[in-house]
Amino acid sequence: MKSLPLHQLYKACVLKEFTFKTTRQLDPLAEIVGQNRAQEAVRFALAMPHGGYNVYAVGRNGLGKRTMMLRYLEHHADTDHKSHDWCYVANFEEPRVPRVLRLPTGKGQALKQDMDRLMSRLMKVIPQTFDSDSFLERAEQLKSEYGKKQEDELEKVAAQAKRKKVSLTVTTPGGYRLVAMQGSEPHTVESFEKLTEEQRARFEDTINKLEKRLRQALRKLAEWEQEYVDKQQALNVETLEGIAGPQFEEIIEKYSAEPEVVDYLKAVRHDLADNLDIFLEDNEEQAAIAYASLDRKMPRRYQINLLVHRKDNEVPMVVEDNPTHHNLFGYVESVTFKGTVFTDFSLIRPGSLHKANGGYLLMDANKVLEQPFVWDGLKRALRSHSLQMNSLERELTLSGTISLEPEAIPLDVKIVLFGDRETWMLLQEYDPEFAELFRVTADFENEMMRTSESQLLYAKFIASLVREKKLLHCDQKAVARIIEHSARMAEHQDRLSLHAADIANLMREADYWARQANANMVRATHVEQALVSARYRSSRIRDQFHDSIREGTTLVATSGTRTGQVNALSVLSTGGFEFGLSNRITASCYYGDGDVIDIERDVKLGGNIHSKGVMILTSWLASHFAATEPMHLSVSLTFEQNYGEVDGDSASLAELCAMVSALSGIPVRQDLAITGSVNQFGDVQPIGGANEKIEGFFQTCHLTSFTGTQGVIMPASNVQNLMLENQVLEAVRRDTFSIYAISRVEEAIELLLGRPAGKADAKGRYPAQSVFGVIQKRLDRMREQEREEHQDQDKTKDKDSSTRH
């Protein structure tokens, strides 16, 4: 068989196809590269005006789902969609239920500034005006007027009582006493008792009549008192209107297009007169709350709590990295003053849902599900299309303090959740509401097809990363080397990896080495240096395995021949770094009933897939050598020097070759390693990690003795996966290392054992000098011996029987 030519081992970029010299000449990519399916899903979700069309983005971590989604939203968001500013203000009728105001973008900040200016002016003007001589004179005149009317009314009652020898005295404010008089002195109990019955009765009758008259007078006094209060209030309103009215009219006119704001301003205007003491007295509690909440010392009752404000009408895009209940739904702060906890509407704080309202909120699904009460709260908000701020402490019944219940805010937001497929499947299975609320799945690809067009698109993607990460620009060859490495990551010559995080890391490290070399541009040598450096940093465990091979602790033969012994190949992964190793598989045969004993399985070191592979070998062996007669040879298989679990079927071809060698007695070439899976019909099936396995055996040969005849046998269906390192390619170019691609078991046997496997004729007989023919001849001899033994036993039985007769 011929080994694979060089061009099949590595697919390099054709530089002539590149229409650019450096990434500086390329426009940044606005689209999601290679994600047409996911892009269409996102476009559909954004265009759907109905509820429930939120997005769950499925894909591996590191694909750059978030970055690509943000980039797509920036270029394709609905700019015609109007966002709003949201404010909470005092509800003068229901203080525990603050009102919410919705304003056009930018108006919220303007309203807050207008109210702050108005209140700052009133804080100065109101005390001055209500302490002025003109106001005090009018207030005093009003007070004197009503005071005189009260005194005159009481004087009338007192004079009437005096004429009837009864004294009217004032005891306490609002308390009056009528006492019978004896001349100029009031009667004592003793002197009153000395009066005749008629005199006492006359006094009592007089006092009763006077009491009725006094009650009538007191009712008049109460009415006048209320009248005085009303007139004083009217004076306050008149005075307040004189100083604040024009400014209120100006603000109301400014916000006349916003009915909610106009209603609120009128309510403030009406409430001011009832709460003048806020401006006229120093309120220690208000000052303490303002200090604790980092606010200015303003009348908190009339503050505007600007919950969400935006400078322009761009669609909000919020990424919430820590979706706790408070961070997502907002919360109500509280302050402590003299051991008492206070709160009000000005201490309401927004969450991510408030900030993203009218736009898009991006979150990690696992982080949302990890936080208590968040998932249920999010579903509740999406179902009701409203954002109700509930106290988490009250939900948990941890606090009995009085809290606020702010008015709900209408919710219009698209949620984008990022997560893996397992989480998505679990939610589909166990949460019936999930499918109703997240009707769109954006399924992100891991790879894209490698064509001339897609390579140019990938180059633009690299240019986007350069600009986004502020890296040095890459020249043509550097871009080609990155694309080739991407194909290796995808483990396919005609595909490119979309794992953006790995590509970005490679570019950062190449940028570092370019700057270290004082280069003005990233070149292919810097990319190669970055790859070598990253490989060296992660290869400590691999080097320990190599040391054990070099020292002879791990037994590996890379030259000569050996019966029943084959070099198989495996891949080990250590935290993202994968490398190939050579594993010795041995087989021995002995008289038995045709079983294949898998030592790994029997000692519970073999995984299910590996055990399945060995059972397939048993089936293949029986179909070839025990189709019509029993097979009297059994085989045992094992991975030598293996002390951990073995799984996978990529060594089943090597195990089959070891078995065939043991059964035929023909030695196996040790300068060849083999990898591949096999089915019951002898077809060689593809495996994973082809590059790492070939490179692993190549390094093993250099660690032992590099003879120039060594090579690797691999499935032909894996040739498209080859993107080998330069060292291996150079050895192939010099014809000192070979790679063979096979499709059938017979080809592998011929390469390893040095003679044809053999093809059965119509009678099922194999050529005598073929490998299968040797095995068949050996089994025939054993069957013939068994038949002779049975005949001898039968003759002995017949002789014994005739002797007895």
Tokens of 622: 């029986």
Select which of 65, 107, 355, 693 is catalytic: 693
Distances (CA, A) of 695 to 419, 578, 775: 34, 11, 34
Residue 249 pLDDT: 87
Can 650 be counted among the known catalytic residues?
yes
Nearest to 713 by CA among 755, 669, 681, 679: 669
Contact 527, 481 (CB under 8 A): yes
Report pLDDT for 231.
78
Average pLDDT over residues 345-355: 90
Beta-carbon contacts of 256 under 8 Å, excluding residues fewer than 6 positions away, are 262
Check: CB of residue 492 under 8 Å from CB of residue 472: no
Please check whether residue 35 is in contact with residue 445, taking contact to mean a CB–CB distance below 8 angstroms. Answer: yes
Question: Which residue type, as a one-letter code, is found at position 687?
Answer: I
HEC assignment per residue over 310-345: CCCCCCCEEEECCCCHHHHHCEECCEEECCEEECCH
DSSP 8-class letter at 174: T
- Rounded to whole angstroms, the Cα distance separating 654 from 585 reads 7
Kindly report the number of other CB atoms within 10 A of residue 140's CB atom.
11
Using the 8-state DSSP alphabet, how is residue 140 labeled? H
Name residue 54's beta-bridge partners: none
Instruction: Give the model's confidence band at 611: pLDDT under 50 very low, under 70 low, under 90 confident, else very high.
Output: confident
Where are the strands (E) in 155-212, listed by range? Answer: 166-170, 176-182, 185-186
**CA–CA distance, 570 with 698 (Å, rounded to integer):** 13
Q: Are residues 659 and 585 in contact, defined by beta-carbon separation less than 8 angstroms?
A: no
Alpha-carbon dihedral angle through residues 773, 776, 777, 783, given to the nearest 10 degrees: -170
> From CA 684, how far away is CA 688, in angstroms rounded?
13
Q: By the 8 A CB rule, do 438 and 132 touch?
A: no
At 404-441, the pLDDT tens digits run: 888 899 999 999 999 999 999 999 999 999 999 999 99
Work out the burial of residue 33: count CB atoms within 10 Å of its CB; fewer than 13 is exposed, 13-18 middle, 19 or more buried: buried
State residue 789's pLDDT score.
76
Q: What are the start-end ranges of the H helices in 255-304?
A: 259-274, 277-280, 284-292
Q: In a 3-state reduction of DSSP, which class is residue 713?
A: strand
Give tens-digit pLDDT for 385-405.
999 887 776 666 655 566 788
> Using an 8 Å Cβ cutoff, are 248 and 269 in contact?
yes
- Least confident range of 134-138, 369-373, 541-545: 134-138
Q: Average of pLDDT values for 727-733? A: 95
Rounded mean pLDDT, 235-241: 76
Reduced to 3 states (helix: H, G, I; strand: E, B; else coil), residue 679 is coil
The whole-number pLDDT of residue 286 equals 59
CB 612 within 8 A of CB 572: no
> What distance lies between CA 330 and its chain's CA centroid?
19
3-state secondary structure of 555: coil
Q: State the chain's mean pLDDT as an integer.
A: 85
Query: Tens digit of pLDDT for each residue in 148-199?
Result: 777 777 777 677 666 666 666 666 555 666 666 666 666 666 666 666 677 6
- Which is more confidently placed, 125 or 325? 325
**C-beta of residue 660 within 8 angstroms of C-beta of residue 589:** no
Please name the residues in contact with 666: beta carbons below 8 A apart, sequence gap of 6 or more: 563, 660, 753, 754, 755, 771, 774
Calculate the CA 222 to chain-centre distance.
69
**At 418, is the secondary structure helix, strand, or coil?**
strand
For the ranges 125-139, 234-248, 725-739, 766-780, the one whose mean pLDDT is highest: 725-739
In angstroms, the CA 32 to CA 35 distance is: 6
Q: Which of 650, 652, 664, 677 is catalytic?
A: 650
Report the largest interatomic distance among the alpha carbons of the chain, rounded to a whole angstrom. Answer: 173
This model's pTM is above 0.75: yes
Give one DSSP letter per residue of 220-246, joined into a string: HHHHHHHHHHHHHHHHHHHHHHHHHHH
In the structure, what pLDDT confidence band is assigned to residue 685 with cuts at 50, 70 and 90? very high
Q: Which residue has the tokens 């991006």?
A: 362
Tokens at residue 434, please?
A: 């999930």
What stretches of 164-196 show up as alpha helix (H) in DSSP? Answer: 189-194
Q: How far apart are CA 579 and CA 220, in angstroms?
A: 104
Instruction: Tell me the average pLDDT across 759-764.
Output: 85
Q: Is the pLDDT of residue 79 over 60?
A: yes
Mean pLDDT across 684-703:
94
Question: Lowest-confidence range among 3-17, 118-132, 257-271?
Answer: 118-132
Non-local (6+) Cβ contacts of 638 within 8 A are 585, 586, 598, 599, 600
* Cα–Cα distance measured from residue 743 to residue 526, given in angstroms and rounded to the nearest whole number: 39
d(CA 613, CA 633): 20
Q: How far apart are CA 210 and CA 192, in angstroms?
A: 18
Average pLDDT over residues 746-769: 90
> Residue 661: pLDDT above 90?
yes
Instruction: Report the distance separating Cα 461 and Cα 458, nearest Å.
Output: 5
State residue 227's pLDDT score.
77
Query: Does an H or E element contain 570, and which?
Result: strand 565-574
Helices (H) and strands (E) in the chain, counts: 28, 30
The whole-angstrom separation of Cα 773 and Cα 789 is 24
pLDDT at 804 over 70: no
- Please tell me the distance from the alpha carbon of residue 226 to that of residue 211, in angstroms, as a whole number: 22
Q: What single-letter DSSP state applies at residue 770?
A: S
The Cα–Cα gap between 45 and 415 comes to: 10
Model confidence over 247-306: pLDDT tens digits? 888 888 888 899 999 999 988 888 887 777 777 766 555 555 555 554 555 677 888 999
Handedness of CA 729, 732, 737, 739 (dihedral sign): positive
Contact between 364 and 370 (Cβ < 8 Å): no
Give the CA-trace dihedral at 389, 392, 397, 403, to 10 degrees.
Answer: -40
- Quick one: angle between helices 107-130 and 197-254, nearest 10? 140
Cα(5)–Cα(7) distance, rounded to whole angstroms?
6
pLDDT of residue 93: 87
Q: How far apart are CA 639 and CA 665, in angstroms?
A: 19
Q: Which residues of 562-574 are buried (b: 16+ CB within 10 A; e: fewer)?
A: bbbbbbbbbbbee
Q: What is the pLDDT of residue 380?
A: 92
Residue 693 among the catalytic residues: yes
Q: Which of 454-458, 618-622, 671-675 has the lowest mean pLDDT?
A: 618-622
For residue 588, give the 3-state DSSP assignment.
strand
**R_g of the chain, CA atoms, integer Å:** 48
